[in-house]
A and B are shown apart, each in its own frame.
Chain A
Amino acid sequence: MQRLVQGNEATFQGAVRAGASFYSGYPISPSSEIMAEAAKYSASHPEFRFIQTEDEIAAAMSVLGASLAGAKAFTATSGPGFSLMQESLGMGYMSEIPCVFVDVQRVGPSTGMPTLIAQGDLLQVQHGSHGDYYSIAFYPNSVAECYTLVGTAFNVAEEARQPVILLSDAHVGHLYELVDLEALATGVEVLPRALAPLGGHTRHFTGLISDDNGVPRTSDYQVYRRWLAKVKERSAAVAAKHPLYEYRPNPRSATLLISFGIISRTVLPLTEQYGYFRPIRMLPVLAEELREVAKDYRNLVVVEANDGQYASLVEQALKRDVARVPVLGGKVSPAEIADRLAEVIGQA
């Protein structure tokens, strides 16, 4: 049955559908509804474990512990909390712990503009923790997609044995749309756990580089290189199974708009005039798919709520100039975007 559902609520419900049985978190706008949903759900489903921790460091570490103990586990936060979670993400990558982190973005840096929309955490998702690792991130632009993509994130986490990021933003998180969650639920595939739960074995899960038996090998470059090559290859192979995007060609136009999250909804009316590409898998960047689509356009313009983060990734991937229409400070105005677009295309 269709009913009005909020994006954040759909994210929580989709996680449960995907098999999640653990949530830990610390309140922060605009993600707090996910935590409230988790608290509400755990009150009537004791098998679903919930903990409100003292900070986002503990929330993120709890997710790692819970995953190791056998639960599909996740947390949700926004920029300031996501910054605090970088340490846990690092351990998740190094110790190969499947889990899902949801980042409902707001304007940063620092406390920034707490309730206003931004998309400025993209490069932090890619490189926010120290060292080399290979992020996988998805970004819905509708309530229904919040529901389905969080499930994809959980499955990818198990297959790739790493944290997976579900990006969202203040508007996608707070969007209400008519959806039929039961109908959506029937299409969801749920993968089993990749890891045997703690207990009954003698494994060692460490943030140090270690060999296959969990023995730290902190001064052997070969062990490190083998490990990095292994996770790089696995991460890329699993991500490649999910080349998710939406493309609306416009053969009459020489310009392709690239946009995602709530901004992609804002620019939809402009598809009369321009081609439109919406990456859903944000990371790793859809290089091949973009290259194929971009062949047909002279101008590439990324419209995003930050100062050109995805544009720089597209430039890097395609080795082509990419124009930028930044939507800054939480002010999303279709008229302003259209004007600015006309300007940058005029300059091209």
Chain B
Amino acid sequence: MSEVRTAPRGFEGLIKRERYPHTWCPGCGIGLIFNNIIRVLSEKGLDYSNTAAISGIGCSGRMAGYMNMDSVHTPHGRALPVAEAIKLVNPDLNVIVASGDGDLASIGGNHLLHTSRRNPDITVFCVNNETYGLTGGQLAPTTPKGVRTITSLNGALHNPLSMQKIVTGNAQYFYARSTVYHLDHMRECMHAALEWPGFAFVEVISDCIELHGRRLGFKTPHEMIATYGEKYVLAPAGRTELAPNELGIMTKA
């Protein structure tokens, strides 16, 4: 009888598979972002021996807990001060933050202002699904004006927050924007962010199909993600600021 061999799922050392099934809905963009963070960490040789991952609260905030390394799941909005202190105490440790737009830019907005200003050498991966996914799809500060959510029934009244403007308002910065449609570009941004010797912020536009997308009329996650392919274009070279529909990397050393 021939021996049955199982094929490895990949990234064995980097993911806590024993915790699967994970918490994310089928079709949620967080899965793509998580997998690509893992892939980039693997390509860079980052693992439990040299890296710690920090998350806040939210669906996105569950990412650190599935990474096979020391990780901290802070209260809502507090990933950055925890991450900054860890880096200050142990500069040899690579410190990455993975969390959501609500976590990092709404309740954690004050920390985003100030941690980015102090410019510690940490890398932040921000899932921007333009809503509060975990709590059921409420208005987030990133929700575009006019978009309906369960707490903005006639459409969001205000213009959305620009995380780009917060981060690039500093003297030195690394800010990148990508989407879950543009996977190669997303990884390019993540690689560059991890190499940046300072505070690096990667915003990845992502879908929350179940608690946001369906209400907006999308039948499938694919349909929702495909709109990012239509809406977003690569910024032309020489840009110092990304237009709202542009993807790219803005840096100042």
Give how many B residues have a beta carbon under 8 Å from the other chain's beta carbons. 37
How far, in whole Å, are A24 and B118 apart by their CA atoms in the complex? 14
B64 neighbours in A (Cβ, 8 Å):
204
Instruction: Tell me how far the C-beta of A309 lies from the nearest C-beta in chain B, rounded to whole angstroms.
Output: 27
B187 contacts the other chain (Cβ, under 8 Å)? Answer: no
How far, in whole Å, are A66 and B93 apart by their CA atoms in the complex? 13
Query: Is the CB–CB distance between A87 and B75 below 8 Å?
Result: yes
Query: Is the CB–CB distance between B78 and A87 below 8 Å?
Result: yes
A194 contacts the other chain (Cβ, under 8 Å)? Answer: no
Instruction: Bits for A175-199, please: 1 = Cβ < 8 Å to B, else 0.
Output: 0000000000000000000000111
Q: Which of B48, B54, B74, B85 contacts A24 (CB 8 A)?
A: B85
Instruction: Tell me how far the C-beta of B185 lies from the nearest C-beta in chain A, rounded to whole angstroms.
Output: 30
Instruction: Bits for B30-57, please: 1 = Cβ < 8 Å to A, else 0.
Output: 0000000000000000001111101001
Instruction: Bits for A196-222, please: 1 = Cβ < 8 Å to B, else 0.
Output: 011111111111100000111000000
How far, in whole Å, are A63 and B84 apart by their CA atoms in the complex? 10
B78 neighbours in A (Cβ, 8 Å):
57-58, 61, 87-88
Query: Is the CB–CB distance between B73 and A197 below 8 Å?
Result: no
Shortest Cβ distance from B80 into A: residue? A58
Query: Is the CB–CB distance between B65 and A204 below 8 Å?
Result: yes
A22 neighbours in B (Cβ, 8 Å):
85, 88-89
Query: Is the CB–CB distance between A207 and B75 below 8 Å?
Result: yes
Please classify the interface of chain B as helix (H, G, I), strand (E, B), loop, or mixed, using the class held by over half of its residues.
mixed
Query: Is the CB–CB distance between A64 and B82 below 8 Å?
Result: yes
- Given A54-B114, A198-B90, is A206 in contact with B73 using a C-beta cutoff of 8 Å? yes
Instruction: Tell me how far the C-beta of A141 lies from the nearest C-beta in chain B, rounded to whole angstroms.
Output: 32
A95 neighbours in B (Cβ, 8 Å):
72
Query: Is the CB–CB distance between B89 and A61 below 8 Å?
Result: no
Query: Is the CB–CB distance between A55 and B70 below 8 Å?
Result: no
B19 contacts the other chain (Cβ, under 8 Å)? Answer: yes
- Given A58-B114, A198-B90, A200-B48, is A88 in contact with B72 using a C-beta cutoff of 8 Å? no
Query: Is the CB–CB distance between B48 and A69 below 8 Å?
Result: no
Query: Is the CB–CB distance between B90 and A54 below 8 Å?
Result: no
Instruction: Tell me how far the C-beta of A67 lies from the nearest C-beta in chain B, rounded to whole angstroms.
Output: 9
Q: Which of B68, B89, B113 contacts A66 (CB 8 A)?
A: B89
B147 neighbours in A (Cβ, 8 Å):
none
B16 neighbours in A (Cβ, 8 Å):
202
A51 contacts the other chain (Cβ, under 8 Å)? Answer: yes
- Given A49-B88, A66-B89, A199-B49, is A58 in contact with B81 using a C-beta cutoff of 8 Å? yes
How far, in whole Å, are A71 and B89 apart by their CA atoms in the complex? 7
- Given A63-B85, A65-B82, A65-B85, is A200 in contact with B70 using a C-beta cutoff of 8 Å? yes
Please classify the interface of chain A as helix (H, G, I), strand (E, B), loop, or mixed, using the class held by over half of its residues.
mixed
- Given A58-B81, A61-B74, is A197 in contact with B48 using a C-beta cutoff of 8 Å? no
B51 neighbours in A (Cβ, 8 Å):
199
Q: Which of B65, B81, B90, B118 contacts A70 (CB 8 A)?
A: B90
How far, in whole Å, are A22 and B78 apart by their CA atoms in the complex? 18
Shortest Cβ distance from A55 into B: residue? B110
Query: Is the CB–CB distance between B49 and A200 below 8 Å?
Result: yes
Query: Is the CB–CB distance between B75 and A88 below 8 Å?
Result: yes
Instruction: Bits for A109-146, please: 1 = Cβ < 8 Å to B, else 0.
Output: 00000000000000000000000000000000000000
Query: Is the CB–CB distance between B82 and A202 below 8 Å?
Result: no
Instruction: Bits for A50-92, please: 1 = Cβ < 8 Å to B, else 0.
Output: 0101110111011111101111010000000000000110110
Instruction: Tell me how far the C-beta of B11 lies from the nearest C-beta in chain A, rounded to whole angstroms.
Output: 14
Q: Which of A57, A200, A208, A216 contacts B81 (CB 8 A)?
A: A57
Instruction: Tell me how far the C-beta of B74 lies from the nearest C-beta in chain A, rounded to whole angstroms.
Output: 7
B191 contacts the other chain (Cβ, under 8 Å)? Answer: no
How far, in whole Å, are A205 and B73 apart by their CA atoms in the complex? 6
A62 neighbours in B (Cβ, 8 Å):
81-82, 84-85, 88
Query: Is the CB–CB distance between A58 and B111 below 8 Å?
Result: yes
Query: Is the CB–CB distance between A198 and B75 below 8 Å?
Result: no
Query: Is the CB–CB distance between B73 and A204 below 8 Å?
Result: yes
A70 neighbours in B (Cβ, 8 Å):
89-90
A203 neighbours in B (Cβ, 8 Å):
70-71
Q: A54-B114, A62-B81, A66-B89 are in contact. List 5 more A-B contacts (CB 8 A).
A: A49-B85, A65-B89, A69-B90, A198-B52, A198-B93
| 19 CB-based A-B contacts, threshold 8 Å | A22-B85, A54-B114, A57-B110, A58-B80, A62-B81, A64-B74, A69-B90, A69-B93, A73-B85, A73-B89, A91-B75, A95-B72, A197-B89, A201-B69, A202-B48, A205-B71, A206-B65, A206-B72, A207-B74
Chain A positions within 8 Å of B, measured between CB atoms, are 21-22, 24, 49, 51, 53-55, 57-59, 61-66, 68-71, 73, 87-88, 90-91, 95, 197-208, 214-216
> Would you list the 9 A-B pairs with minimal beta carbon distance, nearest first?
A65-B85, A206-B73, A65-B82, A69-B89, A62-B85, A54-B114, A58-B81, A61-B81, A69-B86
